[in-house]
Amino acid sequence: MSSQQAQPVEAQEPETPHLDFQGTTPYEDYVQADVLTHLQHTLSDDPGEMVFLVTTQVMELWFTVIVHEWETAANALREDRVPVAVAALKRSVRELEALNASWRPLAQLTPAQFNSYRSALGEGSGFQSAMYRRMEFLLGEKSASMLVPHRGAPRVHAELEKALHEPSLYDEVLRLLARRGHAVPKSVLVRDVSRRYESSPEVEAVWTALYAGDEHDELARLGEALTDVAELVWRWRNDHLVATRRAMGAKTGTGGSAGVAWLEKRAQKNVFPELWTARSHV
């Protein structure tokens, strides 16, 4: 073997990414990471407060995405574009899974750990979240009283008031069923949509008939996508309940709420109720 042949072949260096930009990077311009990572202003000296604050902020971002998906689905249903609505609902299922996983950093807080920075929350409470309230309104959980905490924020209040008086996601589903010839009663179709949705035996009968038919029917698939959403909302509420019970027991919640008692009441409710009760009759 010649000396020339014995020389090792030099490995080629990978191409260096473009590093020199005028001003901020394109990534920063799109993601606004500098803004996001400077929104954390802890109010105590406890090192555990940071994860509580960041986790709560992450939850707010997921609320925003899920509201976007459900509004997309509601608009599509209004225009009879069921596949578009189902696609948005399926995306929201993956997003709800990520939202629910946000409880993990907080799920095993002891009372002592939570108490070390709880006083920093003052009157703050999760039920004051405007974006979460928009999620609840889209699910049909309407309550005009829930606008009251936001009177001091005109833009937020206006957005919530608009959402209160708009049909919920489930209202749009029921209107679609009626347009497709199903016997949704007029009392459901013309009800005051600013009030909480209440279960209807006639709507239950519609879902029973759909589930007893072709499982590949477009409306049956829509029902299953809604059920996936409803199940994960139920899991969210239960995970919230368990994390709160573990961190503070039955004490009064921040912001004057009933704490665990309030969460227990919420966890007992199913959204899209007839999708659950109809299964007993198929």
Binding-site residues, in ranges, read: 118, 240, 254
d(CA 42, CA 56): 12
Q: What's the rounded Cα separation, in Å, for the pair 45 and 30? A: 33
Task: Enumerate residues 6+ apart whose C-beta is below 8 A from 138.
Answer: 67, 70, 71, 74, 163, 168, 169
> Binding site for substrate: residue ranges?
118, 254
Binding site, annotated residues for heme = 240
> Which of 189, 180, 59, 197 is CA-nearest to residue 136?
197
Polymer length of the chain? 282
Token pair, residue 44, equals 């105590």
Which pair of tokens denotes residue 15? 């191409």
Nearest to 144 by CA among 133, 156, 153: 133
Do residues 44 and 115 touch, judged by C-beta distance below 8 A?
Answer: no
Phi, psi (5° rounding) for residue 235?
A: -65, -40
CA dist., res. 207 & res. 270, Å (int): 16
Structure tokens at 198: 């209440």
Phi, psi of 47 (to 5 degrees): -65, -20
Do 243 and 207 form a contact (C-beta atoms < 8 A)?
Answer: no
